[in-house]
């Protein structure tokens, strides 16, 4: 409970003022959460403003063309998010009578809404006790409790979700969830966290054991990329030089070393 109290106090003191924190309208909360998936606030904010301006209600979004939505999404990346956003808007308007699902269980059924986003909307918009576990939460919890279970392992995902569920403040789940994510985003950062001014200096296991820079643990993804590819080119005797552009037409944008 000391953890929760300090966290929420820190949040009251240090949180950023953001437009989706001025509302509990599930449409706006949902919109902001989809935009902020894999996206930093700084990058997503102008897109959020543009969407709210152009599509003030879920009915406006549902009635829009996919082309116009994708155009407004341009530059954000992960374009399936925009297509799922449109699909779900139409689904809620046409199949759910325009009524936004209001429980974690029902939110989870929406396309483009997984465990994290369902928990975020349920807690922030409806004050349901549903613990969020995003990248920030993995980092804060693994460091504070000194947990070395890889966050991208099946066991890790279960462990952190379970821990987050035991920690969430039942009296103010919306504030608690936003506090722990905000803390991870702007203080307990991936690189160079501000440990010198951290309210958890005396209780953070990672800080006391010099493990801040190794937590959270993540499994390597042994991605094998082809680094060298040797081949022979027989020269056209009528030509005096190789053309890199000619090779580019055959192999695409691969860099070549001529030995």
Candidate residues 14, 111, 244, 248; the one interacting with DNA per rule CB under 7 A: 111
CA dist 81 and 106 (Å) reads 19
Candidate residues 42, 170, 239, 241; the one interacting with DNA per rule CB under 7 A: 42
Is 247 a binder of DNA (CB under 7 A)?
no
Candidate residues 75, 230, 243, 259; the one interacting with DNA per rule CB under 7 A: 75
Is 41 a binder of DNA (CB under 7 A)?
no
CB of 221 to DNA, least distance (A): 5
Of the candidates 17, 22, 33, 95, the residue annotated as catalytic is: 33
Is 38 a binder of DNA (CB under 7 A)?
yes
- Binding segment for DNA (CB under 7 A), chosen from 13-21, 45-53, 77-85, 96-104, is 77-85
Candidate residues 14, 54, 63, 78; the one interacting with DNA per rule CB under 7 A: 78
Q: Are 161 and 115 in contact (CB under 8 A)?
A: yes
- Binding segment for DNA (CB under 7 A), chosen from 45-53, 108-116, 193-201, 236-244, is 108-116
Q: Return left, alpha or beta for 112; rule: phi > 0 is left, psi -120 to 50 is alpha, else beta.
A: left
Query: What does the block give as tokens for 197?
Result: 């001014």
Q: Which of 46, 43, 37, 40 is nearest to 19 (CA)?
A: 46
Place of tokens 């897109």: 47
Contacts with DNA in 132-151 (CB under 7 A)?
134-136, 138-139
CB of 234 to DNA, least distance (A): 28
Long-range contacts of 200-204 (CB under 8 A, 24+ apart): 200/3, 200/6, 200/144, 203/2, 203/3, 203/144, 204/143, 204/144
Q: How many helices (H) and strands (E) does the chain have?
A: 13, 0
Candidate residues 50, 96, 214, 219; the one interacting with DNA per rule CB under 7 A: 219
At 137, give phi and psi (nearest 5°): -65, -40
Candidate residues 65, 166, 192, 210; the one interacting with DNA per rule CB under 7 A: 192
Long-range contacts of 94-97 (CB under 8 A, 24+ apart): 94/62
Is residue 33 among the annotated active site residues? yes
Site size toward DNA, by CB under 7 A:
38
CB of 237 to DNA, least distance (A): 33
CA dist 129 and 142 (Å) reads 21
- Binding segment for DNA (CB under 7 A), chosen from 93-101, 170-178, 215-223, 238-246, is 215-223
Query: What does the block give as tokens for 4?
Result: 């929760």
CB of 77 to DNA, least distance (A): 3
Q: How many CA atoms lie within 13 A of 183 on its CB side?
A: 28
The smaller minimum CB distance to DNA, of residues 21 and 83, is found at 83
Q: Which residues participate in catalysis according to the annotation? A: 33
Judged by the rule CB under 7 A, the positions of this chain that interact with DNA are 37-40, 42-43, 75-80, 84, 111-118, 134-136, 138-139, 153-154, 190-192, 218-219, 221-223, 225, 255
């Amino acid at each position: 409970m000391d953890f929760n109290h300090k966290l929420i106090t820190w949040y009251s003191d240090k949180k950023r003022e953001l437009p989706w924190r001025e509302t509990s309208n599930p449409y706006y909360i949902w919109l902001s959460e989809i935009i902020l998936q894999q996206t930093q606030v700084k990058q997503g904010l102008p897109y959020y403003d543009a969407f709210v301006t152009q599509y003030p209600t879920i009915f406006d979004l549902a009635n829009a063309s996919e082309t116009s939505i994708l155009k407004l999404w341009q530059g954000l990346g992960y374009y399936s998010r925009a297509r799922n956003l449109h699909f779900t808007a139409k689904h809620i308007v046409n199949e759910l009578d325009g009524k936004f699902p209001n429980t974690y269980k029902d939110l989870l059924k929406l396309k483009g809404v997984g465990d994290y986003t369902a928990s975020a909307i349920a807690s922030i918009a409806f004050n349901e006790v549903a613990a969020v576990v995003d990248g920030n939460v993995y980092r804060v919890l693994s460091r504070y409790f000194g947990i070395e279970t890889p966050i991208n392992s099946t066991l890790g995902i279960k462990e952190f979700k379970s821990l987050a569920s035991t920690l969430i403040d039942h009296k103010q789940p919306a504030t608690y969830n936003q506090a722990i994510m905000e803390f991870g985003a702007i203080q307990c950062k991936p690189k160079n966290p501000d440990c010198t001014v951290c309210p958890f200096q005396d209780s953070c296991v990672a800080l006391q054991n010099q493990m801040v820079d190794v937590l959270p643990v993540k499994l390597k993804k042994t991605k094998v990329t082809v680094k060298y590819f040797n081949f022979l080119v027989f020269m056209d005797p009528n030509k005096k030089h190789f053309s890199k552009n000619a090779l580019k037409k055959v192999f695409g944008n691969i860099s070549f070393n001529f030995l």
